[in-house]
Chains A and B, each alone.
Chain A
Amino acid sequence: MTDTTDSSESRRWYTLDVHPYVFFISSFIICASVLLTIVFHSRLDTLFASLQAGIANLAGWFFVLTMNIILVFVFVLLFGRHGNVRLGGDDAKPEFSRLAWFSMLFSAGMGIGLLFYGVAEPMFHYIASPLAESGTPDAARTAMDLTFLHWGLHPWGVYTLVGLSLAFFSFNKGLPLSIRSVFYPLLGEKIYGPIGNIIDILATVATLFGVATSLGLGVQQVNAGIHYLFGIEQSATVQLLLIAGITFLATWSVVAGLNAGIKRLSEINLIMAVLLMFFVLILGPTLFILNAFGENIGYYIQNLPRLATWNETYEDTTWQHGWTVFYWGWWIAWSPFVGMFIARVSYGRTVREFILGVLFIPTLITFVWITIFGNTAISIELLGPGGIAQAVQDNLPVSLFVLLEHFPLAAVTSFLSVLVIVTFFVTSSDSGSMVIDIITAGGNPDPPVLQRLFWAILEGVTAAALLVGGGLMALQTAAITTGLPFALVLLCMCYSLTKGLKEYKGPLGFMMPPYEHGTRLITEYSYAAPATFGRRKFWTAKSRRSTSGKKRPNTGKQED
Chain B
Amino acid sequence: MIRILKAESLKLKRRYVYLMFAMSLFVIFLWMCYSLSDLDFNKFSGIFALANTDLFLINTIISPVIIAAFATRLADIELIGNTYKWLSCMQNTKSIFKGKVAVGVICIFLYTLFQCAFYILIGIKMDFYSAEKFTMFFISVFAVLLALFMFQLNFSLWSKNQLTPLFISIGGTFAGLFSWFLPQYPLRFIIPWGYFCVLCNNGINYDSVSRYTEYYWTGYPYFWLVVLIVYIVLQYMYTRGKFITKIQEM
Partners in one complex: no
On A, residues with C-beta under 8 Å from B are none
